[in-house]
Amino acid sequence: MRVFILLLIINVNCSNIEHETNIDSREGLPDQESWNVEITLTDEGVMRALVKAGHLEKYNEKNYIFLNQNVDVDFFDEQEIHTTNLKSMIAEIDEKTNFMTAIENVVVVSDSGVTLYTDTLKWDSKKEIIYTASPIVLTTEKNDTLYGSGFESDVGLNHWKILYPSGVTNQKNG
């Protein structure tokens, strides 16, 4: 009699657990996950960006990559010459278009000495521009510091504009 009761209790408990959890469900989970990754983004075979991150989640159906843990991106011009480095906490990449959004503590440093600070920055690889509607701080190669909201530039930070600027300059009128 004791054996029958014990088996009945085990059977009831196991059947309840089976109905409560679905081990095969992958809804919301990445299709691939990697650590310490490097991704090369190209345009017609020309390297335009080298992306490094501590962690990657890839979602095949959405053609979407989520990066976090020390995102570090080197940008290159049409001759594959390095122009700029971007660092952020998080980045999202649309694999169909190579459109990237950098999020949280974004810092962009050009090889010419211009530095941009913002919370969110988008890179449109087709138009070859970076832009944001967020507040920014920009320091120039002459140590001018500009503040504003809204920013657009080529990736090398050579031709930039701040939509609503303010700032301080060390330049003398003359």
Query: For residues 124 and 131, is the Cβ–Cβ distance under 8 A?
Result: yes
Query: For residues 106 and 115, is the Cβ–Cβ distance under 8 A?
Result: no
Question: What pLDDT shows up at residue 27?
Answer: 72
- For the segment 52-77, the average pLDDT, to the nearest whole number, is 95
Over residues 11-49, the pLDDT tens digits come to 444 444 444 444 555 677 899 999 999 989 888 899 999
Q: Is the pLDDT of residue 161 over 50?
A: yes
Domain ranges for the chain, please list them.
30-168
Q: Work out the end-to-end distance of the chain between its first and last CA atoms, rounded to an integer number of angstroms.
A: 104
Query: For residues 106 and 119, is the Cβ–Cβ distance under 8 A?
Result: yes
Given CA atoms 138, 142, 145, 147 in this order, what sign does their dihedral have?
Answer: negative
Rounded CA-CA distance 20/76 in Å is 51
Q: Is the pLDDT of residue 3 over 50?
A: no
Rounded CA-CA distance 141/135 in Å is 20
Residues 6 or more apart whose Cβ sits within 8 Å of residue 57: 30, 32, 33, 65, 66, 67
Q: Is the pLDDT of residue 163 over 90?
A: yes
Query: For residues 75 and 84, is the Cβ–Cβ distance under 8 A?
Result: yes
> pTM to 2 decimals?
0.78
Question: What pLDDT shows up at residue 121?
Answer: 98
CA dihedral 123, 126, 129, 134 (to 10 degrees): -40
The more confidently predicted of residues 21 and 71 is 71
Residue 52 CA, distance from chain mean position:
10
Over residues 83-138, the pLDDT tens digits come to 999 999 999 999 888 899 999 999 999 999 999 999 999 999 889 899 999 999 99
Question: What pLDDT shows up at residue 137?
Answer: 97
**The two structure tokens encoding residue 139:** 């320091």
Fold entry, domain 30-168: lipopolysaccharide transport protein A fold (2.60.450)
Q: Identity (one letter) of the amino acid at 15?
A: S
Burial of 2 (0-12, 13-18, 19+ CB in 10 A): exposed
**The two structure tokens encoding residue 101:** 């959004």
The more confidently predicted of residues 168 and 64 is 64
- For the segment 54-78, the average pLDDT, to the nearest whole number, is 95
